[in-house]
C-alpha cells in the first residue's frame, strides 16, 4: 500500500471517506468493490482509535436482549457469522462462562437459561460457516463445582453455576481493520493515513465538493474533489460537521469511555463474565497467555482529542472486577501490565446511563442541514460495521448519478484471508516452514494469513530479522513488512497495530530499541526522530500514574 496523497494527480472521486476506523474501512471496501472510485483519509493511523479500543469480541450482544433490541441482536449474530467466513484467520468461536448466582435478578439461573434459548433462536444460521471449525455449539448449564474445576479463580461466594455459550473473538482487531483497508485498495481505493481534513470545498451551488487535506507527514495541503463525502469520524463526527459548517457545532454525539487492562493469566480457556451490582457486566478474557479485563462504560464530556486512560478509571475497573471475580487475592494496580481504551460514539441520548444506550447506528443525509453531498455515519459497533457499510451504500445509490453494483462483501474473503480451513492452513504452514519454530509459524499464519510467505521471506533474507522478540515468536521481519507493505509510519503503528510486539505492554527497552533501529533505517529517520519515536512509544505504553 502507498499513501496516495503524496502524489495525488487531482482526479475526482465518486466518494471521499473521512475516517479510517472500522466503519470508514468497511465503507471504503463496500464502495470500491461495487465499482465506485474511492479516497479515504485518516488523521492518525488506520484503526488507531475506537476500533482498537475493543474487548476483541465479535458478538451478537447478549445483553441487548434485556433492552428489547431484538433486531440489533439478530443483525449482530448474522454479521458474526459473516466475519467468521470472510476473515477466518482473525475471527474464532470462543466459550463464554456466564456466572449464575442469587446476588442479582439478572444472574438467576432461570433468567439466564431463557436468555440463552432466545439467543440461540436468533442465531439459527450459526452453522452456515464456510469453515466447519467455525461452527458454534449449543449452550449448556454447569454446576458451581464444575465452574471451579474449569476456572479456579472464579469467586465461590454466591456461585450457583454457569451457562457456557459461544460467541466469537477477533485475535487482532487492528489487523482485521487493516484487512478491510487492504480489500478496499485491492478494488482500487486510494487511502492515506496521517492526512487531516482541515476544511470543506464547495461548488458554485454551495454544495459540498470535497475536502482540503493536510498531509501531517509533509505539511503539504491538497484539495480532494468528490461527488459525495462520507463522514465516518466516530467520536469526532460532530467536530468534522463543525468544520463543514465553518463554525463550532453543538455536540450531537454522546461519548462513552471504555478502557481495558492486561494482567497475568487469570482464566484458562473461557471468557468469564457476569453482572455487577450496578447492572453492568465485566469480562475476564484469555488472550496470549495473559488476561484482558474490561470494559468500562462511562460518559465522557469534553474534547475527544484530550481523552486518555486515567489511574482513576483503572482503579474503578479493578474495584468492579475484584468485587465479582477472584478467590485467592485481589488484582492490584501493580498487576496491570498495560491499559488501553477509547471513546465510543453513541446516537441515543434518552438514557441516563450510557451503558444503556443502544449500539445501533444512524446514517444521516446532511442535505437536511444545508450540506448537500455530505453523509454522516454515527454510532454502531465493530461487529456490524460491514452491514453498516451496506446500509450507507443504499443512501449513496440514491444520491450519486452512477450505476452501483451489488454487494459482494458478504460472499468473498477479505484480502489476505483467502483460507478455506484455518486449522489445516496453519498445520500446512508449520510443516512447510520447519526452519521456524512451530509456535512462531502458528501465530504469524493467523495474523498474516495468505501474506505469511512474504513475511517469512524477509526473515530468511537475514537471520537477525528472524530472531524471536517474545513468546509468540514475533520478529523484526514484521517491522520491515509493516513499513514496506502496510503503510506503518510511526513506531506506535508498528508495535501496536501492525504487530503485537507491544500489545501486552512494554516489551522492554532492548526490544523497542531493536524495532526502532529497523524502522529508522526503513523510514529514513535521523537520530533525533528515532529518539522521539522511542520516547513517545514508551509514554504510550506506561500504565498511568494519575
Task: Answer with the residue of higher pLDDT: 361 or 350.
Answer: 361
Is residue 79 in a domain? Answer: no
Q: Quick one: 157 and 142 in the same domain? A: yes
Looking at residue 223, which CATH number applies to its domain? 3.50.50.60
Check pLDDT > 90 for residue 168.
yes
Q: Quick one: 322 and 268 in the same domain? A: yes
Structural domain of 427: 422-541
Q: Quick one: 445 and 525 in the same domain? A: yes
Supply 159's cell numbers.
Answer: 456461585
pLDDT tens across 249-281, in order? 555 678 999 999 999 999 999 999 988 877 778
Is residue 435 in a domain? Answer: yes
Check pLDDT > 90 for residue 327.
no
CB atoms inside a 10 Å sphere around CB 246: 10
Q: What is the pLDDT of residue 356?
A: 43
Closest C-alpha to 240, from 193, 191, 194, 197: 197
Q: Quick one: 370 and 272 in the same domain? A: no
Is residue 546 in a domain? Answer: no
Quick one: pLDDT band at residue 135, thresholds 50, 70, 90? Answer: very high
- What is the pTM for the complete model shown? 0.96
Quick one: pLDDT band at residue 67, thresholds 50, 70, 90? Answer: confident
Q: Quick one: 269 and 300 in the same domain? A: yes
Q: Quick one: 135 and 150 in the same domain? A: yes
Give the integer Cα–Cα distance in Å for 449 and 458.
16
Give the integer Cα–Cα distance in Å for 215 and 224.
12
pLDDT tens across 521-535, in order? 999 999 999 999 999
Check pLDDT > 60 for residue 538.
yes
CB atoms inside a 10 Å sphere around CB 127: 12
Q: Quick one: 145 and 294 in the same domain? A: yes
Closest C-alpha to 295, from 243, 370, 355: 355
Domains in the chain, number: 3
Task: Answer with the residue of higher pLDDT: 511 or 346.
Answer: 511
Check pLDDT > 70 for residue 11.
yes
Looking at residue 334, which CATH number applies to its domain? 3.30.9.10
Q: Quick one: 221 and 263 in the same domain? A: no
Closest C-alpha to 136, from 151, 126, 124, 123: 126
pLDDT tens across 353-375, in order? 444 444 467 899 999 999 999 99
Look at the block and give the residue holding cell 460457516.
Answer: 129
Mean pLDDT over the full length of the chain: 93
pLDDT tens across 170-228, in order? 999 999 999 999 999 999 999 999 999 999 999 999 999 999 999 999 999 999 999 99
Q: Quick one: 164 and 183 in the same domain? A: no
Amino acid at each position: 500500500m502507498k499513501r496516495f496523497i503524496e502524489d495525488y494527480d487531482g482526479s475526482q472521486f465518486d466518494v471521499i471517506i473521512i475516517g479510517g476506523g472500522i466503519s470508514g474501512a468497511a465503507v471504503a471496501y463496500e464502495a470500491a468493490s461495487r465499482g465506485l472510485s474511492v479516497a479515504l483519509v485518516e488523521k492518525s493511523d488506520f484503526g488507531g482509535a475506537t476500533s482498537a479500543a475493543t474487548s476483541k469480541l465479535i458478538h451478537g450482544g447478549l445483553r441487548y436482549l434485556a433492552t428489547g433490541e431484538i433486531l440489533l441482536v439478530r443483525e449482530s449474530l448474522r454479521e458474526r457469522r459473516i466475519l467468521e467466513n470472510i476473515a477466518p484467520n482473525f475471527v474464532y468461536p470462543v466459550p463464554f462462562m456466564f456466572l449464575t448466582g442469587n446476588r442479582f435478578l439478572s444472574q438467576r439461573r432461570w433468567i439466564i437459561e431463557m436468555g440463552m434459548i432466545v439467543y440461540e433462536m436468533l442465531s439459527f444460521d450459526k452453522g452456515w460457516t464456510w469453515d466447519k471449525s467455525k461452527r458454534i455449539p449449543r449452550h449448556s448449564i454447569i454446576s458451581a463445582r464444575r465452574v471451579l474445576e474449569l476456572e479456579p479463580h472464579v469467586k465461590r461466594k454466591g456461585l450457583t453455576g454457569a451457562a457456557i455459550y459461544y460467541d466469537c473473538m477477533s485475535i487482532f482487531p487492528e489487523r482485521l481493520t487493516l484487512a478491510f483497508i487492504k480489500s478496499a485498495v485491492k478494488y482500487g481505493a486510494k487511502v492515506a493515513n496521517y492526512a487531516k481534513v482541515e476544511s470543506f470545498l464547495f461548488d458554485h451551488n454551495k454544495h459540498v465538493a470535497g475536502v482540503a487535506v493536510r498531509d501531517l507527514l509533509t505539511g503539504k495541503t491538497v484539495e480532494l474533489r468528490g461527488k459525495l463525502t462520507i463522514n465516518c469520524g466516530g467520536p469526532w463526527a460532530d467536530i468534522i460537521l463543525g468544520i463543514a459548517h465553518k463554525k463550532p457545532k453543538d455536540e450531537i454525539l454522546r461519548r462513552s469511555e471504555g478502557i481495558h487492562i492486561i494482567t497475568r493469566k487469570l482464566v484458562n480457556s473461557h471468557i468469564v463474565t457476569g453482572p455487577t451490582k450496578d447492572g453492568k457486566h465485566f469480562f475476564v478474557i484469555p488472550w496470549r497467555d495473559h488476561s484482558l479485563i474490561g470494559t468500562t462504560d462511562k460518559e465522557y464530556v469534553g474534547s475527544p482529542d484530550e481523552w486518555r486512560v486515567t489511574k482513576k478509571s483503572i482503579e474503578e475497573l479493578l474495584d468492579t472486577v475484584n468485587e465479582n471475580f477472584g478467590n485467592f487475592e485481589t488484582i492490584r494496580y501493580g498487576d496491570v501490565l498495560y491499559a488501553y481504551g477509547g471513546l465510543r460514539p453513541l446516537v441515543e441520548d434518552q438514557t441516563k446511563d450510557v451503558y444503556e444506550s443502544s449500539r445501533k447506528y444512524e446514517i444521516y443525509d446532511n442535505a437536511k442541514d444545508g450540506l448537500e453531498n455530505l453523509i454522516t455515519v454515527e454510532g454502531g459497533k465493530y461487529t456490524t460495521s460491514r452491514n453498516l457499510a451496506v446500509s450507507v451504500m443504499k443512501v449513496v445509490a440514491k444520491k450519486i448519478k452512477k450505476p452501483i453494483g451489488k454487494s459482494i462483501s458478504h460472499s468473498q474473503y477479505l484480502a489476505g484471508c483467502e483460507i478455506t480451513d484455518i486449522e489445516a492452513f496453519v498445520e500446512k504452514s508449520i510443516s512447510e516452514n520447519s526452519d521456524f519454530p512451530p509456535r512462531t509459524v502458528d501465530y504469524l499464519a493467523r495474523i498474516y494469513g495468505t501474506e505469511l510467505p512474504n513475511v517469512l521471506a524477509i526473515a530468511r533474507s537475514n537471520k537477525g530479522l528472524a530472531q524471536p522478540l517474545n513468546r509468540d515468536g514475533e520478529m523484526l521481519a514484521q517491522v520491515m513488512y509493516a513499513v514496506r507493505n502496510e503503510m506503518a509510519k510511526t513506531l506506535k503503528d508498528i508495535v501496536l497495530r501492525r504487530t503485537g510486539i507491544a500489545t501486552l505492554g512494554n516489551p522492554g527497552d532492548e526490544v523497542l530499541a531493536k524495532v526502532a533501529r529497523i524502522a529508522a533505517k526503513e523510514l529514513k529517520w535521523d537520530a533525533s526522530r528515532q529518539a522521539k519515536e522511542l520516547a513517545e512509544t514508551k509514554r504510550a505504553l506506561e500504565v498511568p500514574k494519575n
